[in-house]
């Protein structure tokens, strides 16, 4: 049996990030249909959607333990297939309790896969002795866009169940093909003598920065279109362009992030990225025209895109005897920020307005800028 090269493994893990994004993107068009099928109000449905994030947060620490026991190769392959299978649950759930249960299970698959594929990405990066995490996250961004467009087209043409079968089948084929080229389990299996230990203070520090980074992303995801619509009185489609171009900026910068990190180092790149995020977001919130706001969101996305990949890389390297556990700590706190950010913006907006509340994301970016030196471990190979 031929041992996969680090270069082959890099593209194989990239394919896994791609399919992860495809599944997430293909789920998005189902969300309004699920709300209509369950016949619940926005408040109840919003709480039901928390099951997805809850499942992810619960699964992530467990995934770190399992990676140490079995290796990220096996966990990435298994979690990817599990995500493909649990994709059907929320789509077909006929009642609210079953939807919540299915969402929790799908969230567990998403969280486990997130930790596992990032851990294997760290192993590939170490084998290559050069950065690759930004490229991998760029594959996720491309997958998210492809999944959304493909999922919406198939949904309109064929229906919910048929769309799920085609998307899931495609992703299973990608996963089975990619898994053959992962690095061996030896790269990170059983590096720690114990399968569970509390994360270090340094790892938690990176996790808190990841909390802020994903809080920014989640808040812009949920509130940018609302801010654009309220401020400029736009129709919903045009208002959503702010986040669409924001995601485009994130995808673009992730495919150049590894080269930039190699040239200037993780600390300088994260500091510059955080400052660009803060300035771009502030300009978008203060812009007098929608066109200028959309352009500013592009620059904000260019800044934010590379922060989380570097934080994940740093988390894995801060615990070299258990990289899965380090990444689990960072991603768990990150997902918590993604979950907590939008409600926090909503509470502040109740007392002011959405644009003012979104300045909290500017403050979060400036905090990341102030503590950018914490990501120095990401440059150790």
Separation of alpha carbons 356 and 243, rounded Å: 17
Which ranges of the chain have pLDDT less than 50? Answer: 1, 193-197
Separation of alpha carbons 242 and 304, rounded Å: 14
Separation of alpha carbons 138 and 310, rounded Å: 13
CATH number of 201-379: 1.20.1250.20
pLDDT at 381: 56
pLDDT at 342: 74
Enumerate residues 6+ apart whose C-beta is below 8 A from 91: 27, 30, 34, 160, 161, 164
Separation of alpha carbons 377 and 380, rounded Å: 6
Task: For the chain, report the end-to-end CA distance as a whole number of angstroms.
Answer: 27
CB 187 within 8 A of CB 127: yes
Question: Is this prediction's pTM over 0.85?
Answer: no
pLDDT at 315: 75
pLDDT at 195: 47
pLDDT at 304: 94
Eight-class DSSP state of 294? H
pLDDT at 190: 59
pLDDT at 77: 94
Q: Could you state, in order of their start, the residue ranges of all structural domains in the chain?
A: 6-187, 201-379
Q: What is the pLDDT of residues 274-311, one digit of tens each?
A: 999 999 999 999 999 999 998 998 899 999 999 988 88
Domain 6-187: what homologous superfamily? Answer: MFS general substrate transporter like domains (1.20.1250.20)
pLDDT at 15: 96
């Amino acid at each position: 049996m031929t041992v996969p090269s680090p270069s082959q493994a890099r593209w194989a893990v990239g394919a896994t990030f791609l399919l992860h994004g495809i599944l997430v993107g293909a789920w998005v068009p189902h969300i309004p249909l699920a709300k209509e099928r369950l016949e619940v109000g926005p408040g109840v449905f919003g709480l039901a959607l928390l099951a997805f994030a809850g499942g992810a947060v619960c699964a992530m620490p467990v995934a770190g333990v399992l990676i140490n026991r079995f290796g990220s190769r096996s966990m990435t392959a298994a979690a990817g297939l599990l995500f493909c299978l649990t994709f059907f649950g929320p789509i077909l759930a006929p009642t609210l309790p079953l939807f919540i249960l299915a969402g929790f299970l799908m969230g567990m698959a998403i969280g486990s896969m997130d930790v596992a594929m990032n851990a294997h990405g760290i192993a590939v990066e170490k084998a290559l002795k050069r950065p690759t995490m930004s490229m991998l996250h760029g594959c996720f961004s491309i997958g998210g866009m492809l999944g959304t467009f493909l999922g919406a087209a198939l949904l309109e043409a064929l229906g919910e169940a048929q769309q799920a079968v085609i998307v899931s089948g495609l992703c299973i084929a990608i996963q089975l093909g990619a898994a053959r080229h992962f690095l061996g389990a030896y790269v990170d299996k059983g590096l720690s003598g114990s399968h569970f230990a509390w994360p270090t203070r340094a790892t938690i520090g990176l996790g808190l920065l990841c909390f802020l980074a994903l809080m920014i992303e989640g808040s812009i995801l949920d509130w940018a279109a609302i801010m654009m619509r309220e401020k400029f009185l736009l129709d919903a489609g045009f208002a959503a362009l702010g986040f669409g171009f924001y995601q485009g900026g994130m995808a673009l910068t992730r495919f150049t992030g590894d080269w930039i990190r190699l040239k200037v180092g993780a600390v300088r790149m994260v500091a510059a990225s955080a400052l660009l995020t803060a300035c771009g977001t502030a300009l978008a919130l203060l812009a007098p025209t929608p066109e200028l706001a959309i352009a500013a969101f592009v620059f904000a996305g260019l800044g934010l895109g590379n922060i989380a990949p570097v934080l994940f890389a740093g988390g894995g390297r801060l615990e070299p005897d258990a990289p899965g556990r380090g990444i689990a700590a960072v991603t768990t706190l990150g997902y918590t920020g993604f979950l907590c950010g939008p409600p926090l913006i909503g509470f502040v907006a109740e007392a002011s307005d959405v644009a003012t509340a979104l300045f909290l994301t500017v403050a979060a970016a400036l905090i990341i800028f102030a503590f950018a030196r914490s990501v120095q471990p990401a440059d150790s190979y």
